[in-house]
Every structure is written in structure tokens, then in C-alpha cells.
Amino acid sequence: MNDLSRSIAVCPGTYDPVTNGHLDVIRRAAGLFDELVVAVVDRSVRKSSAVFGTEDRVGFIERATADLGNVRVEPFSTLVVDFARSVGARAIVKGLRAISDFEYELEMAQLNRRQDPEIESVYLMAGPQYSFLSSSGVKELATFGGKIDDLVPAEVARRLQEELTR
């Protein structure tokens, strides 16, 4: 367990791909905690198979947050509360865009609290410019040749177009 005087949070997600909305939440969360561990889901029961492998997703986030000295990126494939406990985190940070996010996240927060009542769920409201933005929406736009370069980091936009035109 890490030093309890340091506040550590985990910001979990599939990040397939990471969007500017994700990065906004990560940057804001990094300002609230001594250390932020961006936890990239290695496998998900909720979603279909990922366009990008775990290593790619971790790399995209590492490069996009390289200027943030208190952020590290790690893959995980356990319960998020178990992962949080393993890195000494006292909080799980998620972004919320809409009512539909709230309904899902409320359920997850209650389930996580049952697993470990010591780990708090913390929610940051999406900035208005990102309230519509989702990884699945970006993938759909990219599949049909839509403009995505203002929705994701440049490297992600380029790689996504390459992957989806195969």
C-alpha cells in the first residue's frame, strides 16, 4: 500500500480510442490528486472487441499526457476496486456526459462500494464541448470517413483511419 498522506486516484476505461473528452477528464482529475493512474481495461465484458490493442491504447494516453508529471498509465484486467486497492488509490474517477452515463455509473458506484467501502467514486462532469463525445461515436465517424481530427489526438485520428480502412 502506498503512503496514505498521498492522494491517489484511478481513472478507468477502455479508451478505445482515447478521446479529447477523456483527456479533459484526466487532466482535470490530475489537478485534484497527488497521483492519477489511468487504468486501461485489458478486457471488457461490456463492449465488443477493441479496435486497438491494450499496448496501443496505453501508448496513446502516455504520449497525450506526457506533460503531466503525476499521471501514469497501466493496463488492468481485474475488478476496478481490486486494481485501485493494488495501487493504493482511495478514489475512482469517471467522467459523466449525460443521464445515460449517470444511470450506468450509479449502478457501478454502488457495486464498487459493496466491494470496498473505503474507495470513493468521484465524478467529473464533461466539459460542454465534450458532452456528446464517445469512443463509439468517433469509431463510427471514422468508419464512414467523417472528420475526427478535432475529437481525438492527431496520432489517434491517423491510426484509427488506418485501422478502419483495412
The tens digit of pLDDT for each residue in 63-82 reads 999 999 999 999 999 999 99
Is the pLDDT reported for residue 52 higher than 50? yes
* Chain Cα centroid distance, residue 123: 12
Q: Please name every residue paired with 94 in a beta bridge, in sequence order, or none if there are none.
A: 123
pLDDT of residue 1: 44
Residues 9 and 92: their CA atoms lie apart, in Å, by: 6
Collapsed DSSP state (helix, strand, coil) of residue 26: helix
The percent of residues above 70 in pLDDT, for the chain, comes to: 94
pLDDT range class, residue 98, cuts 50, 70, 90: confident
**Cell 478486457 appears where?**
43
Inter-CA distances, 96 with 71, 82, 122, 134, 166, Å:
20, 22, 10, 11, 33
pLDDT range class, residue 164, cuts 50, 70, 90: confident
When comparing pLDDT for 12 and 165, which is higher?
12
14: which residues sit within 8 A by CB, 6+ positions away?
A: 40, 41, 44, 47, 50, 57, 135
Pairing of strands 91-96, 120-125: parallel
pLDDT of residue 165: 75
Is the pLDDT reported for residue 2 higher than 70? no
Is the pLDDT reported for residue 47 higher than 70? no
pLDDT of residue 44: 57
Is the pLDDT reported for residue 3 higher than 60? no
pLDDT of residue 49: 80
Query: Average pLDDT of 56-69?
Result: 98
Is the pLDDT reported for residue 5 higher than 90? no
Q: Please give the sequence-ordered ranges of beta strands (E in DSSP) within the chain, or none if there are none.
A: 8-13, 35-41, 71-76, 91-96, 120-125
Report pLDDT digits (tens) over 112-153: 999 999 999 999 999 999 999 999 999 999 999 999 999 999
| 16, 55 contact by CB (below 8 A) | no
Instruction: Report the predicted TM-score, pTM, of the whole model to 2 decimal places.
Output: 0.92
Q: Does domain 8-131 have CATH number 3.40.50.620?
A: yes
Summary mean pLDDT of the chain: 93
